[in-house]
Amino acid sequence: MSTRYTAIPVSELPYPHGLGKVEYETLEHGMRKLLGPNHSDQDTNAKMFWTRQYQQLLRDHLKPHFDSGGDIVQIAHAAAESAHSSAVFDQTLSADGYTAYTQYIAGLPTWTDRHPSIAAREAARWTHHPPTLYIDAETFTIDDGRHRLSLLRSLIEPTTSDFPVLVRIISSI
């Protein structure tokens, strides 16, 4: 297993393997209604992601939730910029998960809850705990962060497909 903290273009993110959970119960209901029994299938979500109905569900259920923390596009941009201060940014780390994490955060600005704004706190949180992607010989999937990555993709990919998104990639390849 290896870990890499890096930024990839938004257009290269995997599509979600389903949206909705306790915090997004009405979103899950809408996705089940739209996608049917395959609502948790990554290929089905990829196929339907850019439809008007799917995009409306994202706008109705995710945008209000994430807007409370600030502009998700600005937050993602700030997180990707800040991550470059890590000495191991964009390097493949073979250490266990905790050791890789401590190597990554060693060079980052200190994260506290006392940032000057909610958006600054959210950017620091994203920098220190980026969405996690998992890749092996057969799959490339979102392990953690599928809701914020889906909203970000929806908002930015149509105009800036090369927008860099900070992620942690765990690989078994």
What pLDDT, on a 0 to 100 scale, did the predictor assign at position 113? 56
What is residue 115's predicted lDDT score, i.e. its pLDDT? 61
Q: Structure pTM?
A: 0.94
- pLDDT of res. 96: 83
Judge whether 89 and 104 are in contact, CB under 8 Å.
yes
Residue 3, H or E segment: strand 2-9
Look at residue 149 in the predicted model and tell me its pLDDT.
Answer: 98
SS3 assignment for 120-144: HHHHHHHHHCCCEEEECCCCEEEEE
Q: What is the four-CA torsion angle of 141, 77, 114, 102, rounded to 10 degrees?
A: 50
Q: Give the pLDDT confidence score for residue 62 in this predicted structure.
A: 96
- pLDDT number for residue 101: 95
Question: Would strands 2-9 and 164-171 be described as parallel, antiparallel, or unpaired?
Answer: antiparallel
User: Residue 46: how many CB atoms within 10 A of its CB?
Assistant: 13
pLDDT of residue 10: 98
Q: Give the integer Cα–Cα distance in Å for 65 and 32.
A: 20
Which residues are paired to 66 by β-bridges? none
* pLDDT beneath 70: ranges in the chain: 111-115
Q: Note the pLDDT tens digit of each residue in 70-120.
A: 999 999 999 999 999 999 999 999 988 899 999 999 988 776 656 678 888
Sequence spans of domains, the chain: 2-171
Specify whether the CB–CB gap between 169 and 136 falls below 8 A: no
For CA atoms 144, 103, 82, 112, give the dihedral sign: positive
- Alpha carbon 11 to its chain's center: 12
Measure the CA–CA gap between 65 and 63, rounded to whole angstroms. 5
Q: What is the dihedral of CA 46, 150, 164, 127, to 10 degrees?
A: -140
